[in-house]
Chains A and B, each alone.
Chain A
Amino acid sequence: MKKRLINLLLPCIGIVLALAAWGAISTMVKDLPSPMKPWEESKIYILKPLEKRGEMDQGIALLAYYSLMRVARGFLLGIAIGTPLGFLLGMSKTAQRIFDPILQILRPISPLAWLPLGLIIFQKSEPAALFAIAVCSMWPTVINTMVGVRSIPQDYWNVAKVLRLTSVTTFTKIVVPATLPYMFTGFRLSLGIAWLVIVASEMLTGTPGIGGFLWQEYNSLIYAHIVLAILTIGIIGFVLDRLMGMAEARLRTI
């Protein structure tokens, strides 16, 4: 009982401390809203989360929904490319030697750098945003899948050899199940990155969504709404990570 109380109390202390720090900084910086102000100014977005008043002026749930859909599509595209690539690199030493330098160079590139390229290729902001999300988020999936294939114990390869399994059966019955936990770790990290990228890509393309809203409110000098957007991004990111973590934990028990 006492332990549960402490478990509940300690995170609250952290939140109070953060709010206090925010309050202190807001007294020093002229334009930074104090902790109370965002709620007063932006409660309409929270209290009417599904109301659509204009392109950017929408309820917070609607904005988050647009962003989540965009992230989902970009993320799915990313893992649809990243997973087979990871298997290829994991199973073939030659493929790894061919692609490794390219992979190492492309991996650290920021979403802000990919976006203009996407705009040049696709000419439209929506596919460019998806392109940026997919290209940035696929690397953890590629690398984890590759590592997963590499760490398949020799015992399992021996089973495949001894039972004289065909290469298709070996892949579906041994390689994929053995790699699955690693793949899901990759998916979780990829989703985290996809969510990070969404803000940058919406800011630059000006599409409706939580990141677009943030940038729009900054340009309209409504700083309190920015805080709302930041908190929403943080909470959604946290929930997404937890959901993927739960899926991952289920697979670990196999």
Chain B
Amino acid sequence: MAFISIEGVSKRFGSGRDARTVLSDATLSVERGEFVSIVGMMGCGKSTFLKILAGLITPDAGTIRIGGTALNGVQPNAAIVFQNYSLLPWFSALENVRLAVEAAFPDWSKAQQKAQATRHLEVVGLGKALQRRPGQLSGGMRQRVAIARAFAIEPEILFLDEPFGALDALTRESLQQELARLTSSARRPVTTVMITNSVEEALLLSDRIVPMTKGPQALGHPVRVDLPRPRAANDIMHDDHAAHVRAHIVTSLTRDMKPVSKQQVA
């Protein structure tokens, strides 16, 4: 049985005439240690789907099992990285990470907790910015703090909600490589589900990619990415298999779009 199994999950927002179905009948399974990306355009409900998986939103229907037990709220062994970093502005980078470590390992001594937080910030290259507040950090550095906070609790499961969406292209690329390095070098296998709107990002990081579109049966068929790691953005651009996967994903994402007729163009 898969480590994470999702069956027939649906979610509606609002009630009566204003009710809006955001997600219907989503089914997916993820193996232990796997990196699965869900690729879709804005407004297809992928963020809602991830929040349901993470236990932040309860679905209206369907079942989610993680490690065989039904999901009930936020998992103790899961970490989430949000697009907007979600750091606490009144704490320094170190204090932000320490807060997570203290909550995850309450039995540790203060010194151990601090060492854990410091080490994970050093891993993402922020050893010299420990005492800076989020307001004094660039977007890329803030997301590094958020990633350090996620890994500092030594999670089994990692949920990434468009983690690099708010960053410029160059920063994004270096952080993607950093994330790939972190997930592969973690002490125990980390199962990752990432939401993204970039097919390239998904190709760079994932074992499998799931296209997601608007409407019922939103989740398409997963596509396996059989490329050796570590992957470089440049190699992926010219690889035949990657091109095949890319074409498949783009086709399934755009299939339901109405083609523009000749009359409309003219």
Question: Do the two shown chains form a genuine complex with each other?
Answer: yes
Find residues 40-57 in chain B having any chain A CB closer than 8 Å to their own CB: 54-56
Find residues 71-107 in chain B having any chain A CB closer than 8 Å to their own CB: 73-74, 76, 79-80, 82, 84, 86, 88-91, 99-100, 102-104
Contact with B along A143-178 (1 / 0, CB 8 A): 000000000000110110111111001000110011
Docked-complex contact A162 and B88, CB < 8 angstroms = no
Contacts of A161 in B (CB 8 A): 55-56, 73-74
Docked-complex contact B90 and A159, CB < 8 angstroms = no
Docked-complex contact B86 and A164, CB < 8 angstroms = no
Contact with B along A26-40 (1 / 0, CB 8 A): 000000000000000
Contact of A162 among B54, B84, B89, B91 (CB under 8 A): B54
Docked-complex contact A165 and B103, CB < 8 angstroms = yes
Docked-complex contact A177 and B90, CB < 8 angstroms = yes
Contact of A156 among B56, B74, B80, B88 (CB under 8 A): B88
Q: A254 interface residue, CB < 8 Å from B?
A: yes
When chains A and B are docked, how far (Å) is the Cα of A162 from the Cα of B73? 9
Docked-complex contact A156 and B99, CB < 8 angstroms = no
When chains A and B are docked, how far (Å) is the Cα of A178 from the Cα of B76? 25
Q: Which residue of A lies closest to B75 (CB)?
A: A164
**Shortest distance between the CB of A39 and any CB in chain B (Å):** 50
Contacts of B82 in A (CB 8 A): 155, 158
Contacts of B73 in A (CB 8 A): 161
When chains A and B are docked, how far (Å) is the Cα of A165 from the Cα of B74? 11
**Max chain B CB contacts within 10 Å: which of A162, A166, A173, A177?**
A162
Docked-complex contact B74 and A164, CB < 8 angstroms = yes
Docked-complex contact A158 and B103, CB < 8 angstroms = no
When chains A and B are docked, how far (Å) is the Cα of A224 from the Cα of B54? 72
When chains A and B are docked, how far (Å) is the Cα of A159 from the Cα of B54? 12
Contact with A along B213-239 (1 / 0, CB 8 A): 000000000000000000000000000
- Using known A-B contacts A156-B86, A162-B74, determine if residue A173 contacts B56 with beta carbons closer than 8 Å: no
Contacts of A156 in B (CB 8 A): 86, 88
Contacts of A178 in B (CB 8 A): 90
Contacts of B56 in A (CB 8 A): 158, 161-162
When chains A and B are docked, how far (Å) is the Cα of A163 from the Cα of B106? 12
**Shortest distance between the CB of B157 and any CB in chain A (Å):** 12
Docked-complex contact B76 and A164, CB < 8 angstroms = yes
When chains A and B are docked, how far (Å) is the Cα of A175 from the Cα of B94? 19
Contacts of B153 in A (CB 8 A): 163
Contacts of B99 in A (CB 8 A): 163, 165, 169, 173
- Using known A-B contacts A155-B82, A158-B56, A158-B82, determine if residue A164 contacts B103 with beta carbons closer than 8 Å: yes
- Using known A-B contacts A161-B56, A162-B54, determine if residue A177 contacts B88 with beta carbons closer than 8 Å: yes
Q: Which residue of B lies closest to A253 (CB)?
A: B135
Docked-complex contact B80 and A254, CB < 8 angstroms = no
Docked-complex contact A159 and B89, CB < 8 angstroms = no
Find residues 187-227 in chain B having any chain A CB closer than 8 Å to their own CB: none
Docked-complex contact B86 and A159, CB < 8 angstroms = yes
When chains A and B are docked, how far (Å) is the Cα of A169 from the Cα of B86? 17
**Shortest distance between the CB of A58 and any CB in chain B (Å):** 45
Docked-complex contact A159 and B76, CB < 8 angstroms = no
When chains A and B are docked, how far (Å) is the Cα of A178 from the Cα of B88? 9
- Using known A-B contacts A161-B74, A164-B76, A164-B103, determine if residue A155 contacts B90 with beta carbons closer than 8 Å: no
- Using known A-B contacts A161-B56, A161-B74, determine if residue A155 contacts B84 with beta carbons closer than 8 Å: yes
Docked-complex contact A162 and B90, CB < 8 angstroms = no
Q: Which residue of B lies closest to A176 (CB)?
A: B90
When chains A and B are docked, how far (Å) is the Cα of A159 from the Cα of B145? 13
Contacts of B74 in A (CB 8 A): 161-162, 164
When chains A and B are docked, how far (Å) is the Cα of A139 from the Cα of B208? 57
Docked-complex contact A174 and B76, CB < 8 angstroms = no
Contacts of A174 in B (CB 8 A): 88
Docked-complex contact A163 and B90, CB < 8 angstroms = no
- Using known A-B contacts A158-B56, A162-B54, A165-B99, determine if residue A173 contacts B88 with beta carbons closer than 8 Å: yes
**Shortest distance between the CB of B32 and any CB in chain A (Å):** 21
When chains A and B are docked, how far (Å) is the Cα of A178 from the Cα of B89? 9
18 contacts between A and B (CB under 8 A): A155-B86, A156-B86, A158-B56, A158-B80, A161-B55, A161-B56, A162-B56, A162-B74, A163-B104, A165-B103, A169-B102, A173-B88, A173-B99, A174-B88, A177-B90, A178-B90, A254-B89, A254-B90
- Contact residues of B with A, CB < 8 Å? 54-56, 73-74, 76, 79-80, 82, 84, 86, 88-91, 99-100, 102-104, 153
6 smallest CB-CB distances across A and B, nearest first, come from: A177-B90, A155-B86, A163-B103, A162-B80, A163-B100, A254-B90
Besides A159-B86, A166-B103, A173-B88, 17 new A-B residue pairs in contact (Cβ under 8 A), listed by A number: A155-B82, A156-B86, A156-B88, A158-B80, A158-B86, A161-B74, A162-B54, A162-B74, A163-B100, A163-B103, A163-B104, A164-B76, A164-B104, A165-B99, A169-B99, A169-B102, A254-B89
